[in-house]
């Protein structure tokens, strides 16, 4: 199984990604680090620990990461989208476990060394912890096998500004540092993640499940539906984070995934957080080495929702 470090801001979509990774036979989740985003880093760790307990996976350590972003303070979370506690107001049974003593960036550095050449990093929240880990130990860029990120919007509108996606917009400086580092990055932007949806039938099947995690995710979905009805005109949920997890594991055939130069707008103007993507490959040249490439997943070749449902229900 592939050794995985997950960095997340749990989050309804993050909860789905965690459940997907737990169900996968290809993934060995060695540790989870949390960052502020949907909710605070500490709140995300609480949600993660509770979810792991519900899944019977108290063996997976959870490390709290950065509360604030590199150059800005945490703003209090996306409560309008994810509910007050980040997981749609669903109250999970409280796990007796606590986060480990090491920080999320420290955990990432340690796992990169312990699994040299093997570790897969999956980042589905703001990229603050990854950027700090690179500062702590720049050699992790050579040690990590690859980094898969849910973030950005290449040719579609943003979801927090007209051009920016939430994970990148929360900490554009961190995103820039992560894309500039010499590790292979796969970026899974809104272009792809807005194409896969769960609907109310899926929600009902999750609620009918005897699996506690599937049931809990079914309960969370209503909050997500309340938000996305404004975007899609019907009660559906996008699958940002679990889709990125599936791409990281190689579970999905990719349709369009060019290697392009992606630059992050770190200015304070209206473009802040935009993933400026050189899709024609003409304007910015190519990354200096093959290893330092960014692969931009613009579409996948197969529907993801059925795969996710199967993973959650079985």
Q: What does the per-residue mask of binding to ligand BDR show for 60-79, with x meaning CB under 6 A?
A: ------------------x-
Angular region, 299: left φ>0, alpha ψ -120 to 50, beta rest: beta
Residue 275, SS3 per DSSP: strand
Active-site hit among 7, 9, 14, 241: 9
Give the separation between CA 211 and CA 48, rounded to whole angstroms. Answer: 17
Nearest to 246 by CA among 48, 26, 51: 26
Among 240, 261, 295, 307, binds ligand BDR (CB under 6 A): 240
Partner that binds at residue 278, options Ca ion, ligand BDR, none, CB closer than 5 to 8 Å by kind = none
Segment interacting with ligand BDR (CB under 6 A) among 6-14, 206-214, 252-260, 298-306: 6-14
Q: How far is the CB of 209 from ligand BDR (least distance, A)?
A: 22
Segment interacting with ligand BDR (CB under 6 A) among 9-17, 129-137, 201-209, 227-235: 9-17
Partner that binds at residue 159, options Ca ion, ligand BDR, none, CB closer than 5 to 8 Å by kind = ligand BDR
Partner that binds at residue 166, options ligand BDR, Ca ion, none, CB closer than 5 to 8 Å by kind = ligand BDR
Partner that binds at residue 165, options ligand BDR, Ca ion, none, CB closer than 5 to 8 Å by kind = ligand BDR
* Contact between 13 and 47 (Cβ < 8 Å): no
Is 240 assigned a catalytic role?
yes
* Contact between 178 and 302 (Cβ < 8 Å): no
C-alpha dihedral, 7 to 11 to 16 to 22, nearest 10°? 40
Partner that binds at residue 217, options ligand BDR, Ca ion, none, CB closer than 5 to 8 Å by kind = none
Active-site hit among 82, 169, 240, 261: 240
Give the separation between CA 203 and CA 200, rounded to whole angstroms. Answer: 5
Q: Is 264 in the site for ligand BDR (CB under 6 A)?
A: no
Angular region, 282: left φ>0, alpha ψ -120 to 50, beta rest: alpha
* DSSP per position, 99-124: --SS-HHHHHHHHHHHTTTTPEEEE-
Site for ligand BDR in 185-214 (CB under 6 A): none
Give the separation between CA 269 and CA 163, rounded to whole angstroms. Answer: 11
Give the separation between CA 125 and CA 6, rounded to whole angstroms. Answer: 10
Segment interacting with ligand BDR (CB under 6 A) among 109-117, 131-139, 162-170, 223-231: 162-170
Residue 37 or 287: which CB sits closer to Ca ion? 37
Is 113 assigned a catalytic role?
no
Catalytic residue set: 9, 240
- Residues at the site binding ligand BDR, with contacts judged by CB under 6 A: 11, 13-14, 37-38, 78, 81, 124-125, 150, 159, 165-167, 240-241
């Amino acid at each position: 199984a592939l050794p995985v470090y997950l960095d997340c801001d749990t989050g309804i979509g993050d909860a789905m990604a965690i459940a997907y990774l737990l169900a996968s036979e290809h993934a060995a989740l060695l540790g989870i680090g949390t960052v502020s985003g949907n909710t605070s880093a500490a709140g995300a760790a609480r949600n993660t620990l509770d979810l792991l307990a519900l899944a019977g996976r108290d063996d997976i350590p959870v490390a709290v990461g950065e509360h604030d972003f590199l150059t800005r303070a945490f703003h209090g979370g996306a409560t309008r989208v994810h509910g007050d506690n980040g997981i749609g107001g669903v109250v999970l049974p409280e796990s007796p476990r606590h986060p480990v003593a090491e920080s999320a960036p420290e955990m990432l550095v340690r796992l990169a060394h312990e699994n040299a050449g093997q570790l897969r990093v999956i980042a589905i929240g703001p990229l603050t912890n990854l950027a700090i880990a690179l500062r702590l130990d720049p050699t992790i860029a050579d040690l990590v096998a690859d980094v898969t990120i849910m973030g950005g919007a290449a040719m579609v509108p943003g979801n927090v500004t007209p051009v920016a996606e939430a994970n990148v917009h929360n900490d554009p400086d961190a995103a820039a540092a992560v894309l500039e580092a010499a590790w292979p990055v796969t970026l899974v932007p809104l272009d792809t993640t807005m194409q896969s949806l769960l609907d109310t039938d899926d929600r009902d099947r999750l609620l009918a499940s005897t699996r506690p995690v599937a049931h809990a995710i079914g309960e969370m979905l209503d909050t997500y539906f309340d938000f996305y009805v404004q975007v899609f005109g019907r009660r559906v949920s996008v699958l940002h984070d679990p889709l990125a997890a599936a791409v990281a594991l190689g579970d999905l055939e990719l349709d369009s995934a060019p290697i392009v130069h992606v630059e992050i707008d770190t200015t304070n103007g209206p473009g802040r957080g935009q993933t400026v993507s050189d899709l024609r490959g003409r304007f910015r040249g190519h990354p200096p080495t093959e290893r330092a490439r960014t692969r931009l997943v613009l579409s996948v070749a197969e529907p993801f929702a059925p795969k996710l449902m199967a993973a959650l229900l079985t």
